[in-house]
Structure 1
Amino acid sequence: MLKPPAGTNAVVLVLHGGRERGTEPVRRHNLAYLRMVPVARALRAPGVEVWNLRYRVRGWNAPVLDPVEDARWALDEIAGVRPGAPVVLVGHSMGGRAAVRVAGHPSVIAVCALAPWIVPGEPFEQLRGRSLLIAHGDRERTTDPARSLWFARQAKTVTDRVARFSVVGDGHAMLRRAGDWTRLVVDFVHGELGLRPMAPDIAKAMREASPRGLDVPLAASRR
């Protein structure tokens, strides 16, 4: 947990990736967990507390859905210790899927899903009234960008605040353009929390009618 020095007004819950199945514990040196550490650190801001959740086990493990249960537990914990604080979810891969699954929690105002693992029939009604940003690399080999595009289109039917970016030249690990991924996340999260105006490219994508705004190439330099 990364606490701001002068009190908490909002919380960001970061959810790392994992596997379809796996009951082994998630250790601190787990690569999927470590990949989100710099993202969590970049999200720090005055009044913003960042929780980088480490799941109990590595797998999605249907029908149990272990990371979903862990994320719900974390949201309930946040609501208990930070009552009334808005929460933005940031999830990568399996964590992106977990994030959209728990988006209906009363504390959640927005979801940022990075290279999310989406399957046909993924529920989306829980996103009603929330903001959603999806980003997917065009060199993705682990999760399917076509499915995240489908999901963005479905989400657009229940909320008008949806944007999806294609990160040209990068893949699932988000390493080739790590700084661009991080800046996109920070701009979206801090914009949703009212810390700064929403970045122009994100705001424009959200204003567009579907399918425009749902397959926007992420510029090499957004500053």
Structure 2
Amino acid sequence: MAHFALVGPPEGRRPRLGRPVSSRSVASAVGGVVLLLPDGEPVSARRASLRARTAMLPLGRGLVRAGLAEGLVAHVVHYRTRGWNGADADLAADASWAVEEAVRRYGDVPICLVGHGFGGRAALRAAGHEAVGAVLALAPWLPEDDVAAEPEPVRQLVGRRVLLVHGTNDARTDPELSFRFAERAKKANRETCRFEVHSDGHALRQYADEVRALVTDFALGALFARPVARPVTDAMAAPPPLGLRMPLAAGFGGSSRR
């Protein structure tokens, strides 16, 4: 009989919020919070990856700069471990804790979850808290419905604005699985759209400027009712599959508001 080592966070290890992502001090009047959820691994009890956390910082800094007038604050979530770990869904549990902690610290302000890879899956899972108004999943790791014990849930997304972004050449997380998830999510919540980044990979480096512009446009629009770029409006309004396979055009964030 095979024996499998137990995985999961060692007893006593706790999640936490990193320091506010900004060189400026936190504004006295916080108007909204972005929680940045780094990538992880399928199964692991190792400490969360510093590299994955660091990779979220440029996105966070850009969001804080763009949302300075509204008092936007961003934190990178420090997981207890880097593993999703099956039914324990440790990263999703840590994301849910982070939402509660943000509410405790900042009170009744809107929260946006932004996750990459397994962090994208954690963001989608943790969206059910009433304080969460928007969710962005970048290259999310999602299971195949036909091999999962249960389909990945979507009901927690109702009433949220949801954006998925995936590179078409992602060799680590299957973009077709995020499309199938988006199809189910759209049926439960029409405020769902998905953008495809042609020929980009898991890290979304090839069109990093466009991805950051899209995330900023979407997040600030959802948190502070700012007008969003026309492609985002079109993607939300378009029926599947058009609004779930919206191409992210080169130069988005420049001329895309026309």
Query: What's the TM-score once normalised by structure 2's chain length?
Result: 0.83
Q: 2:58 is matched with which residue?
A: 38
Give the aligned residue type for 2:111: V
- Spell out the pairing of 1:50-199 with structure 2 (5 A cutoff): 50-119=74-143, 120=145, 121-194=151-224, 196-199=226-229
The answer as to 2:29 corresponding to 1:7 is yes
Q: Distance in 2 between matches of 1:129 and 1:195?
A: 15
**Higher mean C-alpha deviation, range 131-140 or range 1-10:** 1-10
CA drift at 1:4: 4.0
Q: Distance in 1 between matches of 2:100 and 2:168?
A: 35
Give the aligned residue type for 1:34: T
CA drift at 1:169: 2.2
Map Cα deviations across residues 109-140 of structure 1 (whole Å, 9 max, x no partner): 11000000111211111101111100000111
- Structural RMSD (CA): 1.3
Which structure 2 residue ranges, 5 or more long, are not aligned? 1-19, 146-150
Q: Distance in 2 between matches of 1:172 and 1:211?
A: 22
CA drift at 1:196: 2.7
Q: Distance in 1 between matches of 2:37 and 2:160?
A: 18
Query: What's the TM-score once normalised by structure 1's chain length?
Result: 0.95
In 2, are the aligned partners of 1:90 and 1:96 still within 8 Å (CA)? Answer: yes
Q: Tell me, what secondary structure is at the counterpart of 2:102?
A: helix
Q: Distance in 2 between matches of 1:158 and 1:99?
A: 17
Q: 2:7 is matched with which residue?
A: none
In 1, are the aligned partners of 2:40 and 2:48 still within 8 Å (CA)? Answer: no
CA drift at 1:194: 2.3
CA drift at 1:60: 0.4
In 1, are the aligned partners of 2:134 and 2:223 still within 8 Å (CA)? Answer: no
Map Cα deviations across residues 191-221 of structure 1 (whole Å, 9 max, x no partner): 1122631111111100112222100111011
In 2, are the aligned partners of 1:129 and 1:158 still within 8 Å (CA)? Answer: no
Q: Tell me, what secondary structure is at the counterpart of 1:103?
A: helix
Q: Distance in 1 between matches of 2:36 and 2:229?
A: 21
Q: 2:47 is matched with which residue?
A: 25
Q: 1:49 is matched with which residue?
A: 73
- Count the aligned residue pairs: 221
Q: Distance in 2 between matches of 1:113 and 1:63?
A: 20
CA drift at 1:163: 1.1
Structure with larger Rg: 2
